Structure 1
């Protein structure tokens, strides 16, 4: 009988115990005092056969609310965008699905070319000169950008907008603690970064200014104004951008950004109950050698044929540890491939059309929801596909979320979780997948909850 895994028989167990010279498995834990060992038996069921185990896991999975079972208006960093079916077909090919780091270029040309195409797409979207072979996710990419800026400027002060994703700021704070960086958070005014407060926070100790575009509340920041403030103090401007929105918004690189990072999840990557996703990292050419991770480059062989190689690998595995720019060792090549396939399938016009659908549908939803009694738009700002609404005073957002889920909707994000001053506010995301009927039904459901 063939198994999906290698089972261990009692004979196998006895042979292994005999080889290492003990009688029972408990003998392996003899050095651990009895007082700290778990006494009794773990509360687990009896062993299940393969069929019973699959049924059990499917029942557990069925308890999750997901994009196929519910209509999603939940964003806050992970979005329910259309994923062309060709993406899963391509990434399921074994040469991509099981590929590891392409250390040997002579046998990794397909993988290297796929990564090279990803870098090229990111450069085109962001308006930057160089992009690396992807990062873990958008949050770690932002933290790495702060580290790069500190090393480049030899300063330790990082000024970050409160309108940057709270979880990304959490990763930034953890990274800063270990490297001795000072984090200064600048507040917001009407849903976008308070430019006056930002100007006051920037000084000659500032290494970088970190902003999000569109920001966590969905608002479009004035990058041109921020660029002047940052560069006047000889600091770097770091922009965390939604790559899908860059199909329509002005590229940060053309507005003076020094580093552009973000998460490629909107580009054909499944939300997968929270991840994994794929971070991207792009810089102006003078910062190329300080980028974390690796870069795939294009060259020619002795016969003049085009080929691909790992060009820059400024990480601790390849150079002396103290000279490494980062300890990032892996990239998200499979998910970067998702983004590359998505962009190649959509093309310029398809990407622009998807952006326009996001804008039109989200603005219709904002108008429709603000017509619900007691519901108002929180901010009067331009936005892409996400916006905040204020619910009636004293509304229990947790209860509202539960009622919406029962009605078949994934409601918005409770902004009070991260911004106490925004208690009673909900962040709503509307993508190209939402129909007019779904938006109207959501508005009616929300009204019923209130």
Structure 2
């Protein structure tokens, strides 16, 4: 969007209206010792010089390497129509739609978003998005505590480590116990989980596929949770639901996810948006905004923010969440993406991710010195162990044009030689064959 500065004359007119002499008087309420007298900014330049400066800075970005990084953010295709439609001014400049009479377009899009999320997850209700996948999972944990009226949460060690830290941070000051269950290698330790489920547990947080790409069967876990009146809380990878069983049919009570993979770019790690869906019975414990459809006094269809007593702007001390930072624009992009791709397209997209990852996994498993650490089936990520340290291998692969994956040695003890490799539909056979060739030379 172009920058349109005010002229000095316009600034004077605005100051005259509010009875001030200088702009600095707008900040009189700020103590003088907290104000700066000057800004360390160079003299201004004309528009074209500024444009050349930004081109020079942007040229420093590395954009020619082939991406095999994942771990929660993925290099998926974004159809051009997503950019074209989401860039319309009525969407791009819209704020939170508190005034329904002026926000019917945005409200309808978010209503459709909620409907699509329910279709995707097999759940009954969804909110209009959260801040990101990590905070969505943390809010889901708080939901489990409110619903069960218990104060202990079990977290599977296969959950994204960043998500685990956010959950721990959220629950730390609420006198809620959080126990992270150790993994069996890079797999969920299902036997250990079963042993720990009892009548004191509010819920069990797990991720499928887990952070290492492994897909496990949680049916026995979910059954025992329900026997003990505890909740099954799943962090999902939306694209994988094109071929994996939907959470609703598994008996999951609350589903959260990160929506970056649904029509949003990597964008240097953000922004993204979070998703939460749940069962009808828990709708009043669902944080964030819910868009409802109703009729106006003339009998015409209209959309509104509903059940707002859950939100911090109505009763802050009784709200289900005091963040509620929904990401309208990014949720809109995901709505366009899901509408364009459709049911069959999502199946095709997920199948492409899985089959391409299996191709690369098979090629790497046959290489001397390379070991695949996943014992369970995987979706589009898997862990390889190399003879040299992950740090050395990743640096050498980068020098040869590849972002080889995530260095697990930076996150977990004992995995200094392990790399998490991700494959999306964007990776070609030629790129994967070259990846194998270069890795063989590196190790």
Report if TM-score (shorter chain) is over 0.5: yes
Q: 1:91 to 1:30 in 2, by over 3 A?
A: closer
User: Once structures 1 and 2 are overlaid, which stretch shifts more, 182-191 or 158-167?
Assistant: 182-191
Cα 1:158/1:7, change in 2 over 3 Å = farther
Q: Tell whether 2:47 aligns with 1:50.
A: yes
Q: Does 1:424 align with 2:417?
A: yes
Does the aligned pair in 1 maintain the 2:125–2:277 contact within 8 Å?
yes
1:436 to 411, 415, 429: 429
Preserved CA contact (<8 Å) 1:386 1:429: yes
* SS at 2:414 equivalent: helix
Gaps of 5+ in 1: none
Task: Please state whether the residue corresponding to 1:428 is helix, strand or coil.
Answer: strand
Q: Give the alignment partner of residue 228 of structure 1, picking from 223, 226, 230.
A: 223
CA contact (8 A) 1:294 1:314 kept: no
Q: 2:300 aligns with which of 296, 300, 305?
A: 305
Which of 135, 143, 146 pairs up with 2:138?
143
Q: Which residue of 1 aligns with 2:33?
A: 32
Q: Tell whether the 8 Å contact from 2:374 to 2:383 is kept in structure 1 after alignment.
A: yes
Which residue of structure 1 aligns with residue 391 of structure 2?
398
Q: 376, 384, 389: which is aligned to 2:379? A: 384
Partner in structure 1 of residue 5 of structure 2: 5
Instruction: Report the Cα offset of residue 204 of structure 1.
Output: 2.1
CA distance in 1, matches of 2:405, 2:113: 31
Identify unmatched segments of 5+ residues in structure 2: none
Structure 2 CA distance for aligned equivalents of residues 209 and 22 of structure 1? 54
Deviation at 1:124, TM superposition (A): 0.7
Deviation at 1:301, TM superposition (A): 2.3
Match of 1:447 among 436, 440, 443: 440
Equivalent residue runs for 1:116-127 within 5 Å: 116-127=111-122
- Residue number in structure 2 paired with 1:352: 347
CA displacement at 1:258 relative to structure 2: 0.6
Give the deviation of 1:6 after TM superposition. Answer: 3.5
Partners of 1:427 and 1:23 in 2: how far apart? 52
1:277-303 deviation line (CA, Å, top 9, x unaligned): 111100111110011111101112233
Tell me the distance in 1 between the aligned counterparts of 2:116 and 2:382: 28
Shift of 1:45: 5.6
Shift of 1:118: 0.6
Deviates more, 1:227-236 or 1:262-271: 227-236
User: Residues of 2 paired with 1:376 and 1:59: CA distance?
Assistant: 42
**TM-score, normalised to structure 1's length?**
0.90
Alignment root-mean-square deviation, CA: 2.8
Identify the residue that residue 209 of structure 1 maps to in structure 2: 204
**Count of aligned pairs:** 437
The 8 Å contact of residues 223 and 252 in structure 1, kept in 2 or not, is answered as no
Contact residue 176 and residue 183 of structure 1 kept, 8 A: yes
